[in-house]
Amino acid sequence: MLTATFAVLFYTATVVLVLGLAARVYLYARTPAPLRIPTTPAPTTRGGAALRVTGEVVAFRSLFRGEKLLWLLSWAFHVALLLVILRHLRYFLDPVPQWLVWIQPLGLYAAYILAAALIGLWLRRLWIDRVRRISTPADHAALALLLAIGLTGLGLQHFQATDIVAVKAFFIGLMQFSWQPLPAEPLLLLHLTLVAVLMMVFPFSKLLHAAGVFFSPTRNQPDNPRERRHIAPWARALEQDAPQPKQE
Amino acid sequence: MSQESFQVPPLAADPEANGPPQPETEATGHVRPHPAGPEHQEALGFPGEIPDDWQERALARMESLLERNRALRVYMDACVRCGACTDKCHFYLGTGDARNMPVARQDLMRDVYRRHFTPVGRNFPSLVRGRELTREVMEAWFTYFHQCSQCRRCSVFCPYGIDTAEISMAAREILDAAGFGQKYTNEIIGKVHKVGNNLGLPGPALEDTLEGLEEDLKDDTGHDIRIPLDQEGADILLVTPSADFFAEPHVDGLMGYAKVLHQAGLSWTLSSYASEAANFGMFIGSYEQMKQIAERIRKAAVDLGVKRIVVGECGHAWRVAYSFWNTLAGIGRGADADDTYARALQRQLDPRYPVPQHICEVTQDLVERGAIRLDPEANSHYGGVTFHDSCNVARASRMGQRPGGQLEIPRQLLRASVHNFRDMADATIGDETFCCGGGGGLLTDELMELRVKGAQPRVSALRETMDEHGVDRMVAICAICKAQFSKILPYYDIPRETVISLHEVVGNAVRLDRSEA
């Protein structure tokens, strides 16, 4: 019963995450950007614009210009999250590749950084009156959810010996559609439930910034409006009755 | 003039660290523009009165904007309320109004978006702060989307590049569609459609004005410097903001263009039909209005048979010209083979020059080619000169071939024209420049409190260069900046004559020694 519940939960969460995100990305990609609006100075080529977006995704370049403390906390959080997620790949891959074995300790340190950075971000949100004022319940909820996932994960590592072989068997079983029993440990079940919740709220929350950052016209457009004529499909229709130059 | 009832904010001692004020609820909630009357609304095809079904119309407009503008769509979703933008807006720094933090301004629309256009907001509005689009919300939009000058400074620091200008333009378009138009902007757009310029200055009056200016030029220089109008067959069509025809210090800039073009021996003309570079259609976010205004330039270029199109000193006008004219009216290059509309004009224009070209690009090119010479001695009456980067030039356009040319070229011209050029503090220039406080359709008297307060960050930096480097002139290349500074600098005990046109400085420096045989 427990295994079935969690199996259904994770299938559902995966479907919601993948389809929800895909639908959003499709919507962004399909919506036209009628005018050139890169924030200048901007690269003049496509390749340059791709580099600019890469700088935003990898190094949070604009945020670095905006606020150093926030940059440090959020960059540390995202890198730590990436390492922690990579570390968890061992529950889904059999055999575990060598590079994944190597990064296991890194992933563990990262978990502490993850929790510390989240606490820092939350304190900042509460401390600075400007930021406190703009916060919504959903902003606090997102931090609480991520922190709870991090803390339950650390708890599993340190305070509750978990049968990780069984956990791995459960997830591999999910992927192969042959369900294996999930250990009935409360902290583990809490950790997994929270992760499933995170996956399901992702496409409906501000976590969509992960997709949005790639589609932001002020960052991903090359600055070439004099050199090329860009015209959105809906705008072309407006040209029908425009006056034409006199023919010579 | 009525007695002003507000306090001019104190200047920041260190303009780099202009400490953000404590956010205050509705500190400038009482500052709002006059609503547009029925005649100004209807002339643009907007409802004259607020219709009974205004909410339906507003939401329908919002839906269509979400479908046709990717920026709006992405920016509604992507904000994480990190707060990096909260201390970047000149209006927030100057007023302390919590709604003038860029994210809070955006959230006026985002809250409505979540309530009406997302599943979570429709079902659990309180969790994500979803807000029904009520009359009260529309009034708040009208107030605070007219406390944004669309300067894009916040966008520079946003990790997702969220541009409040895009959101404020969309908001104004929705407001217009629901009958909540702003008088200043909509009245002016009506004048352009009818007469050809923002001032409503008809052709014959323009001709008179230009003749007077030619006489002034003769008196000043002893040379027969022409300001031609409607000259068919001229090589260059110069399109400039109509403020250049009579306002101070704009008009000295116009005379400066005339001196440069005269000395270089170029054939040029103004057009009475397209006697306006400004395009206030951008301020209300209307692609259709912007296109209609841009079509005038195209028609004038075609009718006069010119080979080049040059734009005078104006910030948002240069953004529209540089970034949008090609899209809107085919004034540019690189049209597809089957794009007969754009190709027709492109065949007419000289392929050796950028289309359109900024007057600063023209002048800099002439200097580099040795076609004109600049003598800084002619400007030795200035103690020191600094440069105000106009937001739309700095953050929404380019000059020259390389990124950042819009920041370098004006400075190169100034360094060649004066002895003592000094930049203001780093965090207040270039792409971090502070708005003058009057851009984006806010240059109207009823918003004076906002305009004065919003200028505080820029004036703080100006004051510092004045005190430390003996600067006594601030050069601008935007008609709105010039008008705004002339009006608000006296509030800060700085003479209005401090702000001048770039081409006034260049015009003084250009050596007029062309043989007039």
Is pLDDT above 50 for A246? no
Per-residue pLDDT tens digits for B69-92: 999 999 999 999 999 999 999 999
Confidence of residue A240 (pLDDT cuts 50, 70, 90): low
Residues 171-230 of B with CB under 8 A from A: none
pLDDT above 60 (res B3):
no
Q: Which of B101-110, B199-208, B281-290 has the lowest mean pLDDT?
A: B199-208
Average pLDDT of span B273-301: 96
B2 and chain A: CB distance < 8 Å anywhere? no
pLDDT above 90: residue A237: no
Q: Say yes or no to pLDDT of B313 above 80.
A: yes
User: Is any Cβ of chain A less than 8 angstroms from the Cβ of B63?
Assistant: no
Cα B396 to Cα A39: distance, rounded to the nearest angstrom: 6
What tens digit of pLDDT does each residue of B366-401 get?
A: 999 999 999 999 999 999 999 999 999 999 999 999
**Measured between CB atoms, does B17 come within 8 Å of chain A?**
no
Residues 75 through 94 of chain B touching chain A, CB cutoff 8 Å? 75, 77-88
pLDDT (tens digit, 9 = 90+) per residue, B104-135?
999 999 999 999 999 989 999 988 899 999 99
DSSP B97: B
* Those residues with Cβ within 8 angstroms of residue A38's Cβ, 6 or more apart along the chain or in another chain: A49, A217, A218, A219, A221, A222, A223
pLDDT (tens digit, 9 = 90+) per residue, B457-493?
Answer: 999 999 999 999 999 999 999 999 999 999 999 999 9
Please list, in sequence order, all residues whose beta carbon lies within 8 angstroms of the beta carbon of residue B32, skipping any fewer than 6 positions away: B142, B143, B146, B446, B447
Q: Is B95 on the interface with A (CB under 8 A)?
A: no
- From A109's Cα to the closest Cα of chain B, the distance in A is 25
Share of chain A above pLDDT 90, in %: 90
- What is the rounded CA–CA span in Å between residue B390 and residue B397? 11
Q: How confident is the model at residue B4 (pLDDT cuts 50, 70, 90)?
A: low
The residue ranges of every structural domain in chain B are 15-187, 196-360, 373-509
What angle, 0 to 180 degrees and rounded to 10, lies between the N-to-C axes of helices B102-117 and B135-144?
150
- Provide the sign of the torsion angle of the four alpha carbons B320, B321, B322, B326, taken in this order: positive
B122 contacts chain A (CB < 8 A): no
pLDDT at A244: 52
The dihedrals phi and psi of B229, each to the nearest 5 degrees, come to -130, 135
Give CA separation, B169 vs A220, B98, B227, B281, in Å: 20, 20, 36, 10
User: Confidence class of residue B516 from pLDDT cuts 50, 70 and 90?
Assistant: low
Best residue of B65, B70, B324 to probe chain A, by most A CBs closer than 10 Å: B70
pLDDT at B221 over 70: yes
- Whether B335 and chain A come into contact, CB under 8 Å, resolves to yes
The alpha-helical segments, DSSP class H, found in B273-404 are 287-304, 315-319, 325-329, 340-348, 359-368, 391-396
- pLDDT tens across A40-81, in order? 999 999 999 999 999 999 999 999 999 999 999 999 999 999
Residue A248 above 50 pLDDT?
no
Mutation for B interface: A30, A36, A37, A201, most B CBs within 10 A: A37
CA dist A8 → A12, A35, A193, B439 (Å) = 6, 45, 12, 56
Please report, to the nearest 10 degrees, the dihedral formed by the alpha carbons of residues A196, A197, A199, A204 taken in order: 160
Rounded Cα distance, A35 and A28, in Å: 15
Torsion angle defined by CA atoms of residues B173, B178, B183 and B184, in that order, rounded to the nearest 10 degrees: 0
Residue B99 pLDDT exceeds 70? yes
Closest residue, chain B, to A125 (C-alpha): B82
Q: Are the beta carbons of B75 and A216 separated by less than 8 Å?
A: yes
pLDDT, mean of residues B139-161:
98
* B334 and chain A in contact, CB less than 8 A: yes
Beta carbons of A139 and B23 less than 8 Å apart: no
**Ordered DSSP codes for A71-85:** HHHHHHHHHHHHHHH
Q: What is the pLDDT of residue A241?
A: 55
pLDDT band at residue B5 under the 50/70/90 scheme: confident
Share of chain B above pLDDT 70, in %: 99
Helix (H, G, I), strand (E, B) or coil at B499: strand
Report ipTM for this prediction: 0.94
Residue B339: pLDDT above 60? yes
A161 — pLDDT class (breaks 50, 70, 90): confident
The interface residues of chain A toward chain B in range 216-245, judged by CB-CB distance below 8 A, are 216-219, 223, 225-232, 234-235, 238-239, 242-245
Q: Out of A128, A136, A212, whose CB is closest to B78?
A: A212
What mean pLDDT is predicted for residues B263-291? Answer: 97
Q: Any idea which residue has 């049968």 for tokens?
A: A163
Nearest residue, CB atoms, A70 vs list B77, B84, B333: B84
Return the pLDDT at B16: 85
**Which residues 224-283 of chain B have a CB within 8 Å of chain A?**
none
CA distances from A160 to A146, A155, B141, B200 (A): 20, 7, 53, 79
pLDDT at residue B17 in the model: 81
Q: What is the mean pLDDT of residues B246-262?
A: 97
